[in-house]
Amino acid sequence: MFRTHILGFPRIGAGRELKFALERHWRGEHSIAELEAVGARLRARHWALQRDAGMDFVTVGDFAFYDQVANHIQLLGCEPARFSFSAEDHELSRYFTMARGVSREDGDEAGAPALEMTKWFNTNYHYLVPEFSADTDFSLNSERLFAEVEEAKNLGHAVKAVLIGPLTFLWLGKEKTAGFSRLSLLEKLLPIYQQILARLKTLGVAWVQMDEPILGLDLPSEWLRAFEPAYHHLAPAGAPILLASYFSPLGENLGLACRLPVAGLHVDAVCAPEDVPVALDWLPTHKVLSLGLIDGRNIWRADLDRALDLLRPLTSTREVWISASCSLLHVPFSLEAETGLDAELRSWLSFASEKLHELRALKRALENDPVADEMLTRSRLALQGRRESPRVHALEVQARMACLPEDIDRRKSSFPERNRMQKARFRLPLFPTTTIGSFPQTAEIRARRAAWRNGKLAQSAYEAATKDEIAHAVAVQEALDIDVLVHGEAERNDMVEYFGEQLAGFVFTANGWVQSYGSRCVKPPIIYGDVSRPKPMTVFWSHHAQSLTQRPMKGMLTGPVTILQWSFVRDDQPRAATAEQIALAIRDEVVDLEKVGIGILQIDEPAIREGLPLRREKQADYLAWATRVFRIAACGVADETQIHTHMCYSEFNDILPEIASMDADVITIETSRSDMELLQAFGNFHYPNAIGPGVYDIHSPRVPSVEEIETLLEKALTVIPAEQLWVNPDCGLKTRDWPETKAALANMVEAARRLRQKQDKTR
C-alpha cells in the first residue's frame, strides 16, 4: 500500500501574507487577534492544498509565526529565565520578545538580547537557539499545537502532527552555564514529550512525525546511545511515531534508526539514495518506510519514472509512504505566480505546490489510475526538453572546462614574494585601513535604483547619480584618511543578484521567496544552464571610482562558492562543475579589472563554510573543490596585484588550513561577535598571509570608541605579527547610516594611527 504525505509546507504564504502580517503587528498596526486570524487562514489554505493533492494526512505543527524551534521552546516550557517574563505576558508577545529581543530604548531597564540565531543544518534557514542551564526545567506550556490539531480536525482533515524530536531539540540548543551537558536534561524532557504524545492521541491524530535530523550527523556516542532508551519511553505514550531524518545520509546510524521502537522511518532518498536499499533491507516489514523521493531543497521537476522504477517492486512487500525529501519550507510556494518566466523554463521547475502534484502523480501511477498518464507524459517531455536544450549546454563553456591549464589555480609566486612586490607597489603604512565594500544603502539610493529598473529613470541620469554617489564615498574615505578605498556598491541590490543578473545561465523569479528567518525571505536565483559572462560586470564602476583617487581602489566581486550557495543550483551536473563555471566567469572579470588599472581585488566568500557537508567523510571533497574554485577565480592576475577575500556569518575555526589554502593575500574576517575567539585560532595555526580581523560589529548602530578598537588590535597583535595585520570593520556597511559610519571609521583610523605610533617607539 502506498500513501503520500509531506514533512512540512512553506508557512509564509503564496503572497508572503505572513511576512506582511507580522510586520504590521510589530509596527503596532495589527492586534494579536488579527495576526492569529492570518495564521489560521494560511494554515487552512495550506492544508486544503495538501488534501486536494491527495495527501493521506495533512501535516500539522509545521506552522510558526517566527520559527519552529521557537515554537518548541514554548511548547516545552523552557523560555530562558533571563527574559523575566511574568504570568501576565501574552504567549505571542513573549515569543516575539525571545525572537527579537528588547532594547533599553524600549523602556526595558536591562534590555535583553534576542535568542541567538543560527543556520538550520546546512540550509539557509535560521532558527532560534534554545538556551539551557543545569537547572532548566520543562513543562507542557503551550496549547498552540493542540489548538492547531483541533483546527485541522474541524476542517475535516486526517492529521499527522509534527514535532522536533527530543534529542534534536536538545542538540540544537546551547549550554549557557558551564559544567554540564545539555544531554543530561533529556531525563527531565522526556516526560513532557510523553504528555504531548498522549494529548495528541486523545485528539485523534493518526500519526506523529518526530524529526530527528541529527541522525544524519557524526554524533558523539553518548548522544547516539540516548536514542533507544528515549524512544522506548516515548513509543507507548501515544499515536504511532514516524521518525524522520533528512539533509544527510543516515549511514552508520541507519541500523539504530531501524531498531528504534517506532512505527515508521522517513529517509531522504534525494541526498542519500544509498540509504534506501539498506533501509528496505533492515527496517522490519511491519514498519512504515517513508521515502523522500521528491527534492525538498531544490526547484527542479522530478524524474517521476525513476521514482516509479524504485517504487513499483515494493508494492507487495510493506507499507511505503511517498514524500518529499524534507520539509518544503526550503522552496518557494508555487509557480503560479511566475507568469514572467518563459514556458520552456517554467516547465522544468517545480515549487512546493507543484511538488504536491508530483506526489499525487506518483501515487496515481502506482494505483494504475489512467489520470496519471497525462502528468507522466508532461513530466517526461519537460525533462527531455531540459536534458537536450541548447540553453542548458553552452559549447564554448564546456570546451573551456575540458582543457583548463594545470596551473589555473596557482599564483605565479608564493605569498612572501608577492608580498614584497605588493609592498613596493602600494607603499601602504603598517596596519593598513580599509572597509569591506558597501557603504550605507540609503533610501534615496534604493529608490533611484528601483526607478531606473522600472524604466522611470533614464540610463544617463542613473549613471550620473551613481557616479556622484561613488564620488561622495571616495571623498569621505579620503577625508577619513583610509588607505585602501572601496567604491561603496551603490549600484548593487544584493551581492549575488547583482552578478547573477549579468551572467548567462541564471534566471530570476518574480515571487520565488523562501523564508530565511522570521519575516525575512530571500529570493535565490536559479542556475539552469552553463554559466558564462557575456560582458564585464563591474569594470565600468570600478574604473570610474579608481579615476577619482590616487589611493588604491579595491575591485569588489562575489566569489563562486557564495554565488552557488545562495542560488538554486542545477542538479544535472555536480555542484563542483557549476562552481567551476562561475569561477571562470569571475576570473575573467578579475583580469579585466586588472587591465584597467585596479591593483587590489576583493572576492567575497562569506558562504564558504555553510556549504560544508554535514558528514565528515564528505567534507574533504567539498573543501578541496570550494577552495580550488576560489583560486581559479583569483589566480589570473600578476604577482603585484593583491587579492583580498572576506568571510563572515559562520565559525571558521575548524577550516583554517583550507582558508589558508585559498592563498588570498589578505583576508578580512568577522571576529568581533565571537570575541576574537577566532583570532586565537588564527594565531595558533600561524596563518601565513595578511589578516584584517573585523574590529567592530557593523550589525549594531553603536559607534565603537578609539580605545575599544585599540584594545582589540592590541589583542590581535599578541597572535598576529604586525606586518600581517590589517584594520577594518567586520562586514559591509550597507545597513548603517552615514553619520554613525563616519564616526566609527574615524575612530578606527585613529586607533590604527595610535598603534603605528606605539610600534615606532618600540622599534
**Residues with catalytic roles:** 699
Considering only 170, 731, 752, 755, the residue that binds ligand GLN (CB under 6 A) is 731
Compare residues 270 and 648 and give the one whose CB is closer to ligand GLN.
Answer: 648
Compare residues 650 and 705 and give the one whose CB is closer to ligand GLN.
Answer: 650
Distance in angstroms (rounded) separating the CA atoms of residues 693 and 709: 11
Buried b (16+ CB within 10 A) or exposed e, 197-225: bebbbebebebbbbbbbbbbbebeeebbe
Compare residues 648 and 733 and give the one whose CB is closer to Zn ion.
Answer: 648
HSE-up of 623 (CA within 13 Å, CB side)? Answer: 19
Angle at 440 (CA atoms; ends 434, 444), nearest 5 degrees: 150
Measured in whole angstroms, the distance separating CA 66 from the mean position of its chain's CA atoms is 16
Stretch that binds ligand GLN, among 272-280, 424-432, 726-734, 754-762 (CB under 6 A): 726-734
Contact in structure between 649 and 607 (CB atoms under 8 Å)? yes
Distance in angstroms (rounded) separating the CA atoms of residues 423 and 599: 12
Which residue's Cβ lies closest to ligand GLN?
Answer: 732
Angle of helix 539-547 relative to helix 459-480, nearest 10 degrees, comes to: 50
| Bridging pattern class, strands 126-128 and 117-119 | antiparallel
Q: How far is the CB of 386 from Zn ion (least distance, A)?
A: 35
Q: Which does 438 bind (CB under 5 to 8 A by kind): Zn ion, ligand GLN, none?
A: ligand GLN
Pull the grid cell for residue 390.
541548447
Compare residues 165 and 606 and give the one whose CB is closer to Zn ion.
Answer: 606
Stretch that binds ligand GLN, among 84-92, 617-625, 718-726, 730-738 (CB under 6 A): 730-738
Q: Which does 556 bind (CB under 5 to 8 A by kind): Zn ion, ligand GLN, none?
A: ligand GLN
**Does residue 436 belong to the site contacting ligand GLN (CB under 6 A)?**
yes
Stretch that binds ligand GLN, among 168-176, 331-339, 414-422, 436-444 (CB under 6 A): 436-444
Instruction: Please give the residues from 633 up to 652 whose contact with ligand GLN meets the rule CB under 6 A.
Output: 646, 648
Q: How far is the CB of 700 from ligand GLN (least distance, A)?
A: 16
Q: Which does 8 bind (CB under 5 to 8 A by kind): Zn ion, ligand GLN, none?
A: none
**Does residue 604 belong to the site contacting ligand GLN (CB under 6 A)?**
yes
Q: Which does 30 bind (CB under 5 to 8 A by kind): Zn ion, ligand GLN, none?
A: none
Distance in angstroms (rounded) separating the CA atoms of residues 643 and 638: 10
Q: How far is the CB of 492 from ligand GLN (least distance, A)?
A: 8
In this structure, the number of other CB atoms found within 10 A of the CB of residue 421 comes to 15
Compare residues 436 and 482 and give the one whose CB is closer to ligand GLN.
Answer: 436
The DSSP symbol for 87 reads T
Distance in angstroms (rounded) separating the CA atoms of residues 607 and 496: 11
Q: How far is the CB of 604 from Zn ion (least distance, A)?
A: 7
Binding site for Zn ion (CB under 5 A): 606, 648, 731
Q: Which does 734 bind (CB under 5 to 8 A by kind): ligand GLN, Zn ion, none?
A: ligand GLN
Q: How far is the CB of 748 from ligand GLN (least distance, A)?
A: 15
Pull the grid cell for residue 356.
504536491
Distance in angstroms (rounded) separating the CA atoms of residues 687 and 662: 12
Q: How far is the CB of 473 from ligand GLN (least distance, A)?
A: 12
**Does residue 495 belong to the site contacting ligand GLN (CB under 6 A)?**
yes
Considering only 438, 515, 581, 627, the residue that binds ligand GLN (CB under 6 A) is 438
Compare residues 287 and 644 and give the one whose CB is closer to ligand GLN.
Answer: 644
Beta bridge partners of 666: 644, 690
Q: How far is the CB of 436 from ligand GLN (least distance, A)?
A: 4
Q: How far is the CB of 485 from Zn ion (least distance, A)?
A: 18
**Does residue 732 belong to the site contacting ligand GLN (CB under 6 A)?**
yes
Q: In sequence order, what are the residues at sequence separation of 6 or more whose Cβ sits closer than 8 angstroms to the Cβ of residue 105?
A: none
**Does residue 734 belong to the site contacting ligand GLN (CB under 6 A)?**
yes
Considering only 556, 593, 655, 662, the residue that binds ligand GLN (CB under 6 A) is 556
The DSSP symbol for 522 reads E
**Does residue 606 belong to the site contacting ligand GLN (CB under 6 A)?**
yes
**Does residue 233 belong to the site contacting ligand GLN (CB under 6 A)?**
no
Distance in angstroms (rounded) separating the CA atoms of residues 763 and 755: 13
Measured in whole angstroms, the distance separating CA 29 from the mean position of its chain's CA atoms is 30
Distance in angstroms (rounded) separating the CA atoms of residues 95 and 81: 13
Pull the grid cell for residue 642.
593583491
Question: How far is residue 663 from each of residues 395, 594, 633, measured CA to CA in Å?
Answer: 31, 18, 12
Q: What is the 3-state secondary structure (H, E, C) of 223-269?
A: HHHHHHHHHHHHHHHCCCEEEECCCCCCHHHHHHHHHCCCCEEEEEC
Distance in angstroms (rounded) separating the CA atoms of residues 268 and 258: 14
| Contact set with ligand GLN (CB under 6 A) | 436-438, 489, 495, 556, 604, 606, 646, 648, 731-732, 734
